[in-house]
Amino acid sequence: MAVYTEVTDDELRAFLSDYDIGEVVAFKGIAEGVENSNYLLQTVRDPDDTPQNYILTLYEKRVRPEDLPYFLGLMDHLAENGISCPTPIHGRDGEALRELCGRPAAIISFLSGMWPRKIAPRHCTELGVAMAGMHAAGADFDGHRENTMSLASWQDLVAATKDRADEVTPGLSGLIVDELAYITSDWPADLPQGVIHADLFPDNVFFLGERLSGLIDFYFACNDALAYDLAVCMNAWCFEADASLNVTKARALLRGYAGVRGLSRAEYDALPALARGAALRFTLTRLYDWLNHDEDAFVRPKDPRQFLDRLRFHQQVDGPEAYGITYDDVSG
Amino acid sequence: MAVYTEVTDDELRAFLSDYDIGEVVAFKGIAEGVENSNYLLQTVRDPDDTPQNYILTLYEKRVRPEDLPYFLGLMDHLAENGISCPTPIHGRDGEALRELCGRPAAIISFLSGMWPRKIAPRHCTELGVAMAGMHAAGADFDGHRENTMSLASWQDLVAATKDRADEVTPGLSGLIVDELAYITSDWPADLPQGVIHADLFPDNVFFLGERLSGLIDFYFACNDALAYDLAVCMNAWCFEADASLNVTKARALLRGYAGVRGLSRAEYDALPALARGAALRFTLTRLYDWLNHDEDAFVRPKDPRQFLDRLRFHQQVDGPEAYGITYDDVSG
Angle, vertex CA A132, rays to CA A131 and CA A133, nearest 5: 90
CA–CA dist B15, B81 (Å, integer): 29
Over 90: is that where the pLDDT of A70 sits?
Answer: yes
What integer pLDDT is reported at residue B254 of this predicted model?
Answer: 98
What pLDDT is attached to residue A295? 61
Mutant choice from B112, B114, B298 vs A, greatest count of A C-beta within 10 A: B114
Are the CB atoms for A133 and A260 separated by under 8 Å? Answer: yes
Write down all domains in chain B, each with its CATH number in brackets.
Answer: 9-109 (3.30.200.20), 121-330 (3.90.1200.10)
State yes or no: pLDDT of A183 exceeds 50. yes
Distance from CA of B247 to the nearest CA of A (A): 23
Q: Is the pLDDT of residue B111 over 60?
A: yes
Q: For an interface test with B, which of A30, A34, A293 has the most B Cβ atoms less than 10 Å from its Cβ?
A: A30
Give B-chain residues touching A9 at CB under 8 angstroms.
Answer: 114, 116-118, 207
C-alpha–C-alpha distance, residues A181 and B62, integer Å: 51
Q: Dump pLDDT digits (tens) for B239-298.
A: 998 889 999 999 999 999 999 999 999 999 999 999 999 999 999 999 999 998 766 555
Task: State the first-to-last Cα distance of chain B, in angstroms, to the nearest integer.
Answer: 39
The average pLDDT across B86-113 equals 96
pLDDT class for A1, splitting at 50, 70, 90?
A: very low
- Please, which residues have CB within 8 angstroms of residue B77's CB and are 6 or more apart in sequence? B137, B138, B141, B143
- For A143, other C-beta atoms within 10 Å of its C-beta total 17
ipTM value? 0.84
The whole-number average pLDDT for the span A240-261 is: 96
| A25 to B208: CB separation less than 8 angstroms, yes or no | yes
What does the DSSP assignment read for A71-99? HHHHHHHHHHTT-----BPP-TTS-S-EE
Asked whether residue A297 carries a pLDDT value surpassing 60, the answer given is no
For residue B105, give the 3-state DSSP assignment.
Answer: strand
d(CA A250, CA A326): 12
Cα–Cα distance measured from residue A237 to residue B179, given in angstroms and rounded to the nearest whole number: 58
What are the phi and psi torsion angles at B233 (to 5°)?
-70, -35
Chain B contact present for A1, CB below 8 A: yes
* A1 with B6: Cβ contact below 8 A: no
B10 touches chain A (CB under 8 A): yes
Residue of A nearest to B38 (CA): A31
Is B40 within 8 Å of A31 when comparing Cβ atoms?
Answer: no
